[in-house]
Amino acid sequence: MAEMSRGAIAETAADREQMHDLYRKGGEERQMAPHVVYHDSSCPHEGCGQTLQAIDFRLEDHGRAIHDPLVRAWWNDTGFVGRCPGCGGWIHFTIRTKRAVSDDEAERCPKLPDNWHAGAMIL
């Protein structure tokens, strides 16, 4: 990835925050289905080549008891965790990033169902 100059980042960081907030609030109001396109194309776990760039979580397929709290967590930027379909490692998904997390960390987050990737669209 090409490194941007610090000046360019400083200039746009506030704008990006504002954009993010607008996007987040719009999604929250409409309880939109979480889908995301990440900058990084693969699983954040070291050595795992699982493609996880664009994800439509299809939470609506899991019933309201799962759908509702996860949609809330998505739009309030808490995000949720799920196991990578490739390596089985926990991944914390949020609107802007995905990252590898430990079992302990995953324990404290809202969780996708175990079979989330079976119904999700992953590109």
The verdict on 87 binding Zn ion (CB under 5 A) reads yes
The verdict on 43 binding Zn ion (CB under 5 A) reads yes
- For Zn ion, the closer of residues 66 and 87 by Cβ is 87
The verdict on 45 binding Zn ion (CB under 5 A) reads yes
Nearest partner of 75 among 54, 90, 59, 63, judged by Cα:
59
Tell me the CB-side half-sphere exposure of residue 82, using CA atoms within 13 A: 24
Q: CA-CA distance, 84 to 88, in Å (whole number)?
A: 5
The verdict on 81 binding Zn ion (CB under 5 A) reads no
CB of 53 to Zn ion, least distance (A): 13
The verdict on 86 binding Zn ion (CB under 5 A) reads yes
The verdict on 117 binding Zn ion (CB under 5 A) reads no
The verdict on 84 binding Zn ion (CB under 5 A) reads yes
Binding site for Zn ion (CB under 5 A): 43, 45, 48, 50, 84, 86-87
